[in-house]
Amino acid sequence: MADIKAIATRDSYGETLAQLGAEHTDLVVFDADLAGSTKTSIFQKAFPDRHFDCGIAEANMMAAAAGAASMGLVPFVSSFAMFAAGRAFEQVRNSIGYPHLNVKIGASHAGISVGEDGASHQCCEDFALMRAIPGMVVMCPSDDIEAKAMVRAAYEYKGPVYMRLGRSPVPVFHNINQYSFEIGKGEIIIDGSDVAIIATGLMTAEAIKAGQMLSEKGISACVINMPTIKPLDDSIVLEAAKKCGRIITCEEHSIIGGLGEAVCSLLSEKLPTPVRRIGVNDIFGCSGPASELLKMYGLCADNIVNNALEMVK
Amino acid sequence: MTLEEKKQLLITACKVRIGIIESTYSASSGHPGGSLSAADFLTYLYFKELNIDPNNPAWSDRDRFVLSKGHAAPALYAVLAHRGFFPVKDLRTLRHTGSYLQGHPNMNETPGVDMSTGSLGQGVSAASGMALAAKYMHKDCRIYALLGDGEIQEGEVWEAFMFAHHYKLDNFCIAIDNNKLQIDGNIADVMSPYPIPDKLRAFGFAVREIDGHNFEQIESALNEARATKGVPFAIIMDTIKGKGVSYMENQASWHGKGPNDKEYEQAMDELKAKLSELEAM
């Protein structure tokens, strides 16, 4: 995909917020001294009177956003995933989740691909934390086009939403003319029958690469993009399991509590099927360039291919 | 405030205290101590200060109140019931399975509750967000929050205070129920938050210290809060935990348990005697 342009989903987020801001005066943005990094600065530039910096105080920011939502506004709240889902977990749980308030959390710098900042900032637990909150929608876009559509869908949806965004540019593989987004729906990108590869976020591009590599080896892989982690698209998973009989899940998240576990939970109850979970294997990350770290932790097409070959053997 | 108005407030506050005892007795749990210390302030707030409509609890231009010390829910419920948001007899369902009167306030279940609270520190943040939103939306409504003195040990509270001052939320008024006791004992011994007024002033609040059981002083402070422009307002209330029930007063042990049969009878005897005395005035 060398000829394809790459855009970080945090940029897609900031640009879409600015567009939505022009369309809806009830949209306000809260940030915690990271506007330049989460890209809410793009919105801030366009609508300075609607962008509220809360300082380095994420707990207050989340609950304040809940209060603003209770007044009828639609707050988009941003910080790094580590602080949005991690530090402010209990505020998200008790002040946003429990009252089911209309707050949208745009959490950037998720996963290992944060890179050089290292483990303290590489949140690989946010899916697990957010999935556990009743009524919380949990999403993660795979590219620029999906991210933009997702932010719009989050605005339209009534209720709390967690969106996981990345720091590093990711290839734009969707065709804007043939693309539509719906919360809770997965997408078959390559159809196949030997093994199903279900991926989310930046791993979807790797899964597509893996699908192409497997095809060259005569293996028919079904590649599924899963932008919504919760509610999971049960039917697309069950169909894939029925057709392929083997599943590989791919996420830039701990193998505990994320997409892989959601798929395993579903299949173990409805259609027991062998599953391999590719993700961060219950370890902390480390500093380094994102591209090197992703390979080091096995978050790459080669590792998907190797797992698929072992499974179909 | 006329003598008649004051008498009515005293009577209502006494009925609210009866509601607190009835409900925590019925629940065999709950938090009577910190509910009783807040009863007078909440009575004044709901009967004299707040611009609200019990027939239309969701009225969008209403004033908002957030019980940041959510464990004082029995006091809030009793005040809401007497103000006409729901039947007083339902107070006896507090904490029962299926009741809309949850152990801590739930905005989606209880008419008149403006924010779900219970986890200390979060309510005041939510209230500050409401005040910011009201400013942005050009609403004239005011936002109030009641905090416990132990609650201000939570760091989030100070984040909210910074936020309220930074955004010049002069439509925002907090009250701190300084009843001086928390679960483990005297707040000064557990983790002193003193001096509270100095800290609030340093955070940019206009501050007024009052006797939290004196309606004239409550009225005066709330009037001053409304007239204050450019900065948020804090009322530091000197109160008695368990106020109005002799054996509960100034006892940390009455933070979080309901009265037994005998204790219930004694509390009711005391409060009913007080009520008769007030009604005869």
DSSP label of A83? I
- Are B136 and A72 a contacting pair at CB < 8 A? no
Q: How many domains does chain B have?
A: 1
Question: Across the interface, which of B119, B132, B156 has its CB nearest the CB of A68?
Answer: B132
Quote the CA–CA distance of A167 and A280 in Å, as a whole number.
17
Do A184-312 and A6-171 fall under one CATH topology? yes
Q: Is the pLDDT of residue A101 over 50?
A: yes
Q: What is the mean pLDDT of chain B?
A: 98
Kindly list the domain boundaries of chain A, sorted by start residue: 6-171, 184-312
- Are B126 and A95 a contacting pair at CB < 8 A? yes
Query: Taking CB atoms and an 8 Å cutoff, what residues of chain B touch A59?
Result: 121-122, 125, 155-156, 159
Quote the CA–CA distance of A252 and A150 in Å, as a whole number.
19
Short-list A168, A125, A127, A174, CA closest to A149: A174
- Are B115 and A68 a contacting pair at CB < 8 A? no
Q: Is the pLDDT of residue B267 over 90?
A: yes
Short-list A302, A189, A262, CA closest to A310: A302
Cβ contact B23:B87 at 8 Å: no
Q: Is the pLDDT of residue B11 over 60?
A: yes
Find the residue in B nearest to A98 (Cα).
Answer: B116
Where residue B181 sits, what CATH number does that domain have?
A: 3.40.50.970
B145 close to A (CB below 8 A): no
Which pLDDT score is estimated for A122? 97
Q: How far is CA B122 from the centre of its chain?
A: 15
- Are A70 and B128 a contacting pair at CB < 8 A? no
What are the tens digits of pLDDT across the range B55-97?
999 999 999 999 999 999 999 999 999 999 999 999 999 999 9
| Contact partners, residue A3, CB within 8 Å, separation at least 6 | none
Which pLDDT score is estimated for A1? 47
Quote the CA–CA distance of A30 and A45 in Å, as a whole number.
14
- Are A67 and B128 a contacting pair at CB < 8 A? yes
Both tokens of B150, joined, read: 């132990």
- Are B107 and A70 a contacting pair at CB < 8 A? yes
B120 close to A (CB below 8 A): no
Which pLDDT score is estimated for A3? 62
| Contact partners, residue A229, CB within 8 Å, separation at least 6 | A127, A131, A138, A139, A140, A200, A258, A259, A262
Which pLDDT score is estimated for B255? 94
- Residues A60-81 have a mean pLDDT of 98
User: Which structural domain range is residue B270 located in?
Assistant: 3-279
Q: Is the pLDDT of residue B139 over 90?
A: yes
Quote the CA–CA distance of A245 and B279 in Å, as a whole number.
79
- Residue showing tokens 């391999």: A276
Distance from the Cα of A120 to chain B's closest Cα (Å) equals 21
The architecture (CATH level 2) of A6-171 comes to: 3-Layer(aba) Sandwich (3.40)
Q: Active-site residue numbers of A?
A: 58
- Residues B175-182 have a mean pLDDT of 98
Provide the ipTM.
0.97
Q: Which of residues 44-63 of B touch A (CB under 8 A)?
A: 60
CATH class for the domain made up of A184-312:
alpha beta
CA angle A263, A265, A266 (to 5 degrees): 65
- Residues B238-266 have a mean pLDDT of 97
Percentage of chain B beyond pLDDT 90 is 100
Chains A, B: CB contacts within 8 A come to: 109
Distance from the Cα of B82 to chain A's closest Cα (Å) equals 25
Among B59, B108, B156, pick the best mutation site for testing chain A contact (most A Cβ within 10 A).
Answer: B156
Which pLDDT score is estimated for A4? 79
